[in-house]
Amino acid sequence: MMEPKIGVYICHCGSNIAGVVDCAKVTEYARGLPKVAVARDYKYMCSDPGQNLIKEDIKNLGLNRVVVASCSPRMHEPTFRRVCQEAGLNQYLFEMANVREQCSWVHTDKAMATEKAKALVSAAVRRVYYQEPLETKEAAVNPATLVIGGGVAGIQAALEIADAGHKVYLLEKDASIGGHMAMFDKTFPTLDCAACILTPKMTSVGQNKNIELMAYSELVELSGYIGNFKAKIRKKARYIDTVKCTGCGRCSELCPTSVPNEFDCGLGNRKAIYIPSPYAVPNKAIIDAKNCRHIKGLAEGKDVCRLCEKGIEKKGQPGCEAGAIDFSQKDEIKEIEIGNIIVATGFQQFNPTTIYQLGYGRLNNVLTGLEFERLTNASGPTGGKVTLKDGSEPKSIAILHCIGSRDTNYHKYCSRVCCMYSLKFAHLLREKLPEAAVYQLYIDMRCAGSGYEEFYERLQEEGVNFIRGKGGEVTDIAEKPEEKGKLVVMVEDTLVRRKRRLAVDMVILSCALEPRADTEQLARILTLSRKADGFLLEKHPKLDPVATTTDGIYIAGCCQSPKDIPDTVAQASAAAARVLALISKGKVEIEGAIAFIDEERCSGCKICIDLCPYKAIGYDEVKKVSRVNEALCKGCGTCVAACPAGAIKGRHFTSEEIMAEIEGALA
Amino acid sequence: MSFEPKIVGILCNWCSYTGADLAGTSRKKYAPNVRVVRVMCSGRVEPTFILKAFQQGADGVLICGCHPGDCHYQDGNKKTARRIPLLKKMLAQFGIEDERVRLEWVSASEGDRFAAIVDEMTEQVRKLGPFSGNGEQPVGKG
């Protein structure tokens, strides 16, 4: 090993670090540390002049180790590694001391913060002493992409990648793509018909030769790394041969079983064999095994019904002529290989039954936002007629904002879209029922977006009543004769400072968007992190809102946080662009920080083999030693910590390096 | 001057180190007594690291990893969850107080929790007083 010659650079980060840490003192201290040839402080180390400072020193002073004390390595380690490389120094001979996120930003006592900064620099200097140059390897990028979720985000991302000529697997848990957007009636603020703008895209997905649509399927396992993932996908049994099914819908007409239709939020019914929606893609039938009489009968050893298959002979109605019904279908596991993954799994609507006083589920004509979307939708259960349960038209409607959002009892965050969709509901109601009174009960109106404030103003002119106050309770107990048979909404009108009782016929709860219940499970399969509110965590909230902590996995849409359709589509396109960039680059660098087994010291005990979560360690039967498969090792170091012979070296995290760092931190 | 404990924090890169960074970005204030060493996974933590820290004058060691089930490397943290209690049994025989070694799960979104853990542990170790290698409590505290 060449005698280490270390350069130490202390960043002020403007006043971010220098405001709390005495950078001059830390620099002076660093100069006195063993093997340190030069120590400097500078206002912004990450700036061009800052970077050049390091490069010049490497060249002129012959530095062979570099330490930068600045922000978190999660922020600028790649920057400074590149700087070293550009100056001809191996990137693994660089180390960072985090004196911003973990020092100046979290401490107020300047003397103590400066002492801690010194300790962190000393730790990095001692560690870098032992660091070794490592080689990174390159691997080819598989140009196929997996998009998880077939809502508007997934559709957008899939189409962009497929249109660029690359293979996309589009995974959708439901029987049809379309997601929530397919359930909507109009979209704010332009009042475009949601189906009119979405269905052409859905159809394109179905027709695009580069897209393999895997509907009614879910991800069960993922292995590999950026550029080279392997995914296991469960294709759930649909009991329909989708190649044969023509989507004619005859089977549904024959089916005697009627159950609530999920697509209509249970407001209407569907059959046990059905086509998921009028614009389903794929436009194929599916059998709901929980409700199908024949499938339930099979479990009891009986052969019943099968009307969809056989038809009703007496009435001269034939069954499925395509012969597409297949009761013997089982779930299938399919393995695919992909280079990148886009997660676009969306959201679920907050369930307002948990807020008992709002009466949802107890009182008639209290609807969620999504239910109202279906009610007012021309393809919905009433053909777009807004009616009460008894079929009559409502004369007054109250729309309650922030149900489950901006509420410390449920979700602290603002769901961002509810103000706007509530306004849209009000507009649709004014249009369809010009005689009806429409009330908006809001905390604040949040209408940020192109054309959004203008839409709010328009609604004020359309004669909608805006009451500033949160609807606190909905009851059917009348206190006055005019409240009889009505729903009474209790609200404190904060503009006139008075409590009001609002008697209406219909209440719409503008419910929060929340993380899907299966987000946790998905995050585990993909090794993604989640935020405190349960949504998926992006790599950086400002500078990298599309990537995740796992390289090669991107996020788009409401799985990251509530957003409207334009933002969702923009993020989906951004995710697609990131994937396309990697595909066109064609190769990825594989981290050199992986495990290595010293065959001389390995006793062949095989403890490491069972510990490795990636099956990256194999056993050489001839030499009787374990050996690491470098393509599979991810460098977690679990085997290193467990090897009783100390034969495994965790490159870039060797025991020597870590021990030296601990020593330095305590010096 | 009151006794300021020196605590070594060994944090996994994916959850806990990110969580500690989040405490920074959200400007959460906490005690300056923990010096963080980053490892890729808490499963990399060798018991000897902890012994080394005490030998070098640490008054406490804090190990943080991802919550069970959230490990970036599937289940490295489970190995830590088994190793640390074993080590603690041994440390107890050396007369090293239980509170001096702490294993916690801190996710990438738990900046507040990381700060709270550091504050709490710093106070606990402060009460115990400086660590002495021979297993005896030094006279006086700091």
What ipTM describes this predicted complex?
0.94
Given a cut of 70, whether residue A364 has pLDDT beyond it is yes
Residue B68, chain A, CB below 8 Å: the answer is no
Confidence bin at A634 (pLDDT 50/70/90): confident
The percentage of residues in chain A with a pLDDT greater than 90, rounded to a whole number, is 93
Identify the DSSP state of B75: S
Pick A666's closest partner by Cβ from B8, B46, B75.
Answer: B8
Residue A452 has pLDDT above 80, yes or no: yes
Distance (Å) from the alpha carbon of A317 to chain B's nearest alpha carbon: 54
Query: pLDDT value at position A584?
Result: 97
Residue A210 near residue A162 (C-beta atoms within 8 A)? yes
Sheet containing A498-504: which strands, arranged edge to edge? A471-475, A487-493, A498-504
Tell me, what's the pLDDT at B134? 59
Segment A461-471 mean pLDDT: 96
Which tens digits make up the pLDDT trace of A137-159? 888 999 999 999 999 999 999 99
Give residue-wise pLDDT tens across range A273-313. 999 999 999 999 999 999 999 999 999 999 999 999 999 98
Q: Establish if B41 touches chain A: CB-CB under 8 angstroms.
A: yes
> What are the pLDDT digits (tens) for A85-111?
999 999 999 999 999 999 999 999 999
Task: State how far the Cα of A368 lies from the Cα of A370, in Å rounded to an integer.
Answer: 5
pLDDT (0 to 100) of residue B73: 87
Considering only the beta carbons, identify the residue of B14, B27, B76 that sits closest to A638: B76
Q: What is the pLDDT of chain A when averaged over all its residues? A: 95
Q: CA-nearest residue of chain B to A614?
A: B73
pLDDT of residue A632 exceeding 90, the answer is no
Considering A621-625, A632-636, B72-76, the range whose residues carry the highest mean pLDDT is A621-625
Among B27, B41, B57, beta carbon nearest to A666: B57
CB contact under 8 A, B53 and A666: yes
Q: What is the pTM of this model?
A: 0.88
**A514-555 pLDDT, tens per residue?**
999 999 999 989 988 888 899 999 988 888 999 998 899 999
Residue A500: strand pairing partners: A491
Contacts of A655 in chain B (CB under 8 A): 46, 48-49
- Rounded to an integer, the average pLDDT of A627-643 is 91
Size of interface A-B (CB pairs under 8 A): 149
Residue A224 gets the label, from left (phi > 0), alpha (psi -120 to 50) or beta, of left
A270-280 tens-digit pLDDT: 999 999 999 99
Give the SS3 label for residue A216: coil
Residue of B nearest to A633 (CA): B73
Inter-chain touch A641–B46, beta carbons under 8 Å: yes
Both tokens of A583, joined, read: 């595909």
- Rounded mean pLDDT, A423-434: 97
Residues in B closer than 8 angstroms to A659, CB to CB, are 48-49, 52
Q: What is the DSSP letter of A536?
A: B
* The pLDDT value given to residue B142: 37
- How large is the average pLDDT for residues B119-127? 97
For residue A515, which residues of chain B lie inside 8 Å, CB to CB?
A: none
pLDDT of B136 reads: 52
Q: The tokens of A92 are what?
A: 């693994």
Q: Is B82 on the interface with A (CB under 8 A)?
A: no
Per-residue pLDDT band at A591 (split at 50, 70, 90): confident
Residue type, B116: A
Structure tokens at B78: 């489970």
8 Å CB contact of A662 and B8? yes
Q: What integer pLDDT is reported at residue B1 of this predicted model?
A: 57
Rounded CA-CA distance A606/A620 in Å is 10
Q: How near does any CA of chain A get to the CA of B102, in Å?
A: 16
B32 touches chain A (CB under 8 A): yes
Rounded CA gap, B121 and B61, in Å?
9
Question: If contacts are CB pairs under 8 Å, which of residues 98-127 in chain B contact chain A?
Answer: 107-110, 115
Are the Cβ atoms of B39 and A107 closer than 8 angstroms? no
What is the structure's pLDDT at B140? Answer: 42
Side-chain half-sphere exposure of A61, counting CA atoms within 13 A: 20
pLDDT, residue B133, reads 67
Q: Chain B residues with CB inside 8 Å of A637's CB?
A: 39-41, 43-44, 76
Q: Distance, in angstroms, between B25 CA and closest chain A CA?
A: 6
What's the CA gap between A544 and B47, in Å, rounded? 36
User: What token pair was written down for A651?
Assistant: 């490159």
pLDDT digits (tens, 9 = 90+) for A521-531: 999 899 888 88
Q: Nearest by CB to A113, which of B21, B32, B58?
A: B32
- Is the Cβ pair B46, A116 closer than 8 Å? no
Cβ contact, residue pair B35, A665, below 8 Å? yes
**Distance between CA A418 and CA A411 in Å, rounded?**
14
**What does DSSP say about strands A396-403 and A506-511: parallel, antiparallel, or unpaired?**
parallel
Query: For residues A131 and A111, what is the distance between their CA atoms, to the nearest angstrom?
Result: 30
Nearest C-alpha of chain A: how many angstroms from B120?
15
Q: For B41, name the nearest residue in chain A, comparing CA atoms only.
A: A636
List pLDDT tens digits, range B4-53: 999 999 999 999 999 999 999 999 999 999 999 999 999 999 999 999 99
Interchain pair A655, B45: CB under 8 A: no
What pLDDT is attached to residue B139? Answer: 47
Q: Specify the pLDDT at position A541.
A: 87
For the segment A12-68, what is each residue's pLDDT rounded down to a tens digit? Answer: 999 999 999 999 999 999 999 999 999 999 999 999 999 999 999 999 999 999 999
Among partner residues B36, B37, B76, which is closest to A636 by beta-carbon distance? B76
**Would you give the DSSP letter of residue A252?**
H
Interface test with A, best of B11, B16, B17, B35 (most A CBs within 10 A): B35
Mean pLDDT confidence for A440-450: 96
Over 50: is that where the pLDDT of A237 sits?
yes
8 Å CB contact of B35 and A650: no
C-alpha distances in angstroms, A631 versus A305, A536, A652, B72? 54, 28, 17, 17
Q: Chain B: nearest CA to A519, how far in angstroms?
A: 12
Q: Is B53 on the interface with A (CB under 8 A)?
A: yes
Q: Examine the pLDDT at B88 and tell me if it is beyond 90.
A: yes
Query: What is the DSSP track for A90-129?
Result: -GGGEEEEE-IIIIITT---HHHHHHHHHHHHHHHHHHHH
pLDDT at B135 over 70: no
pLDDT band at residue A596 using 50, 70 and 90 as cut-offs: very high
Confidence (pLDDT) at A1: 62
Kindly tell me if the per-residue pLDDT of A421 is higher than 80.
yes
Out of B24, B37, B48, whose CB is closest to A106?
A: B24
Query: Tokens 């830590």 — which residue?
Result: B80
Residue of B nearest to A113 (CA): B32
User: What's the whole-number mean pLDDT along residues A422-426?
Assistant: 97
Tokens of A62: 């012959």
Name, in order, each residue with C-beta under 8 angstroms of A542's C-beta and a sequence gap of 6 or more. none
Is A532's CB within 8 Å of B109's CB?
A: yes
pLDDT of residue A38: 97
- Contact assignment for B44 to A650 by CB distance below 8 Å: yes
Provide the shortest C-alpha distance from residue A120 to chain B (in Å).
7
